[in-house]
Structure formats: structure tokens, C-alpha cells
A = this chain, B = another copy of it.
Amino acid sequence: MNRFFSKLVQEIEPYVPGEQPKDKKYIKLNTNENPYPPSPKVLEAIKQVNDDLKLYPDPECSALRETAAEYYGLKKDQIFVGNGSDEVLAFCFPAFFMDKKLFFPDITYSFYPVYSKLFGVEYENKSLKGHFDIDIKDYLNRDGSILLPNPNAPTGKYLELDRIEEILKKNPNNVVVIDEAYVDFGGLSSVKLVDRYPNLLVIQTLSKSWSLAGLRVGFALGNEVLIDGLNRVKNSFNSYTLDALAQVGAKAALEDITYFNETKSKIIKTREQSVKALSKLCFDVLDSKANFIFASHKTIDAKDIFEKLKEKGILVRYFNKPKINQYLRISIGTDEEMEKLSIALKEIVE
């Protein structure tokens, strides 16, 4: 490529986030953002930040971690805070996944293979079975670490907690990371297993269910030893990855659980309505516990629908990849936005 690049930087294939075109105003159903604004208390808290911005932020995010400990029912030392769950996931690779093989599904969050390449972690993909199902037998008694999103992305499919627990029991010497970016939309969190399984690390984010994608805050929840491992990596990379504003904003969000529950419920309700509407239009829609649905039309090409929706001012996500290139991932917007989607889809498929 050029004489200044390392071999690694020539070989890596960076992650490509969903498009954010600025040519016109779209209905954005392509990056799993929350259609509702964050709790008003978040903006209030941010506005209180003053001239102290001249000082370094708390590198340990102590106040935020105390609030998070209360919310999750954990001890403060069982909580790690990072710059979005993407950064938290990235830190897991040098902390736990090197020297061993890493197992994750073949259809999943497409950032996982990118991290693997960046940190030189060897991985093995396990194929989804049946109708995009994770088969836990693929993850029992492994000779390496395990990384599973629950619900999975982009399918939205959820694995019951007894299944997660079996994986944990059958891998006592392997770190098992459960990426719960979407768990609040109908799944149960495995965070309740943290005290019983020292090999469990749960990852959550404020970007989806807390309407704070713009704030960049993610958590890892697990045994103190695993949290210490993440801190060792973070403190070898950047002492302060959360600015002072993100810390107070995130704290305020976690303190307003009423608001959180309201918006979360609205999205779940809208999702169920959308599943019905799309089914009527001859879409096969996977059972989703996320703030998106994964849907394939019985006769019409997914890429065609994707492009026609874009022309009509509606963005959804299309992955041109084997096994899923006849599906669209559609984020759940407001009732009004999803109504507009239904109308547009009706025009396209009929």
C-alpha cells in the first residue's frame, strides 16, 4: 500500500457503520438508534457542567459506576465503563481472547472479525442452525473463549438464560462474553448470573434502549477479576476515554428508570405491530427481541426493496453477504415512521 503503513494496517478491513447520508432528510431505520429522545434529565445534567472542563475527567468514572452498580444490583468493582460498548468489546480482545481461539456465530455483529484482525486473535465461526438459531452445542466444552450477542444481530433472535447458563457451566476456564446491546427490548439480562460465574462478562450500552448513541457509553459487568483485566488494557491505551459530559449525562439517564421503561415499552409495542404489518405484506419476519426486525420478502429481492425504500426517503440496512442477502434489517422507529414504512413497502411489493 505504502512505505509508512505497518503490515497490519494494510491488511485490516475496517468496520463500516450504517450510512448517514446528508443529501436529504430520511426516516432513519438503518442504525438501530432509538426514535425517542433521551430522558430530559440527561440534558439538564450536562448543562450543569461548568469551567471544570479544564480539569481531567475522573479516569475511574466513580460516580457513574456507583449509579450503575445500584441499577444493575452489582458492586462498583464489578463494573467497567467504556466509550460505547464498541470500545468495551475492543478491550476484551487483548485482555482475554489472545493466545486462544475465539468462537462466535457466522452471522452476527460484523465488528467481531474486525477486532479479531486488529488484535491478531484467531477465531472460528459457528454456523447458525435452522432458522438463524444459535445452537448452544457449538459452544459447550470449547478450548477457547466465547463471544455471543444476545439477542443476536442482525437477526434479533434471543437465547434463553438457561441456555447461556449451560454454556457458562461447560466452559469454566474460558471467558464467555455476552454482548447484550439489545437485551432491554424483551430479553432477560444474564447480569443476574455474574455472581455465580466468574467466567461471565456481560456487555451493555446506553446507545439503544437509553437513547444515547450520541454520548458513547458502554458497560462491562462481571467478576472483579475480569473488570481488572479490562482496566489494565484501558490504562495502557488511554486513561480517560469518557469525557466529563458523558459521565454526568450517563449517570442522569440511569437515575431516570421510569422514563427508560416508558420508551422501551413503546418500542416493543411498535415492533409487534410492525411484525404483523410486514407479515401481511408477505414478509418472513424473524422473532425479534431487539429494537429491529430482520425480514425477507417471499418473492421480491431484498436489495431491490432496500433501494426503492431509499428512493422513497426511508433508510434500512442491507447486508450483501451470503445467507442474509435476501433480508433487510429494519430499526424500530416511532408508530408514525413505521406506518410510513408500511405504506412504502406496500407500494413496492404490490
Spell out A's residues near B (CB within 8 Å). Answer: 2-9, 12-17, 20, 28, 31, 33-38, 42-43, 46-47, 49-59, 83-84, 86-87, 90, 94-99, 114-115, 117-118, 173, 175, 198-199, 207, 211-216, 225-226, 229, 231-246, 249
Contacts and interface: CB of A to CB of B under 8 A. Distances in A.
B96 A6 contact: yes
A216 B236 contact: no
B238 A87 contact: yes
Contacts of A96: 4-6, 9
A170 B320 CA distance: 47
Contact of A14 (B198, B212, B235): B235
Contacts of A13: 236
Contact of A173 (B3, B12, B87, B243): B3
How many identical subunits does the complex contain?
Answer: 2
Majority DSSP secondary structure for residues of A touching B: loop
B236 A12 contact: yes
A231 B43 CA distance: 30
Contact of A9 (B31, B51, B94): B94
Contacts of A175: 4
Nearest to A28: B55
Given A4-B229, A43-B51, 6 more contacts: A9-B229, A12-B233, A46-B47, A46-B245, A54-B211, A216-B242
**Most chain B CB atoms below 10 A, which of A58, A59, A238:** A238
Contact of A240 (B53, B84, B229): B84
Given A49-B43, A84-B238, A54 B229 contact: no
Contact of A50 (B4, B43, B55, B243): B43
B243 A2 contact: no
A42 B52 CA distance: 12
Contacts of A241: 83, 87, 216, 241
A6 B117 contact: no
A212 B5 contact: no
| Interface hub of A54, A83, A216, A232 (most chain B Cβ within 10 A) | A54
Nearest to A58: B20
B5 A95 contact: yes
Contact of A114 (B55, B58, B236): B236
A101 to B, nearest CB: 13
Contacts of A20: 56, 58-59
A298 to B, nearest CB: 33
Given A6-B95, A56-B33, A243 B214 contact: yes
Contacts of A8: 94, 98
Output the residue of A99, A115, A236, A244 with the most chain B CB within 10 A: A236
Nearest to A95: B9
A54 B214 contact: yes
